Amino acid sequence: MPANDGQTLERLANRLGSMGVLMLVLPSLLASLLYEGEAGEPFNFLNHSLSELGRYESSPLALLVNGGLFFGGLFLVVSFISRGWLRRRRPIKLSLNLSGVLMSLSVAACGLFPVNVGMVHAWAMTAFYVMTPICAVLYCFAILTEIPPRWGVIPALAAAGCAIALLTRDDRLLALMDRYPYGLFGADRPLIWWPALLGWMLLGFVALWLLYALVLVTRRNR
């Protein structure tokens, strides 16, 4: 492949990846402004989960949220595949991009199967929890051995920590089921419901980590 074509494909992959990250985050922020829960409560990032924003019967912008997860995940898949092809001579990069593809597919599945469908959504979220630490470990190895600056590992390690914390909870599957928070708390939710807060922290750290990686690659290729 000519060098110019490779650089063009690299820039396209980075732009698709950046768009994918924004599609994961921005629709949720917009939907949180219009959300009204079953008890008439406004949305609170401390005790309401991302899955609740994608619930069709109670979130006016559920379609936007689920579409953002689905298409944002697919954009990230294309970005990872393109960058993996460009770096096919480096085994660690292939492993990183393959794990990134699987992580992104799990995100897309969360949008395709919202919380209303029950167990399928719970397993899609679980797949995201599993793939995030795997991808983070490979990413950190690549950063520490090949690509400075080293502080880029911080959001990846934080995302891995949040994912592991969610994955190891005894109520993991229950917390991801439709209407479970309402059935558990009713109108009186605690100030902090940890599955929800950890989920938002996970999304935020993953977004920071991916944007950092995309910006870093762009700067290195200038």
pLDDT in tens, 41-100: 899 999 999 999 999 988 999 999 999 999 999 999 998 887 654 454 566 777 888 899
Average pLDDT of the chain, as a whole number: 86
For 178-222, write each residue's pLDDT tens digit.
777 877 777 788 899 999 999 999 999 999 999 888 776 555 555
Q: Give the Å distances, CA to CA, from 162 to 42, 48, 75, 129, 155.
A: 25, 16, 24, 8, 10
In this predicted structure, what is the pLDDT of residue 217?
A: 57
Report whether pLDDT(177) > 90. Answer: no
Query: What distance in Å separates the CA atoms of residue 46 and residue 15, rounded to the nearest whole number?
Result: 31
Nearest to 217 by CA among 16, 83, 69: 83
pLDDT at 22 over 50: yes
- Total-model pTM: 0.89
pLDDT band at 155 (very low <50, low <70, confident <90, very high): very high
Q: What do you get for the CA distance between the two ends of the chain, in Å?
A: 18
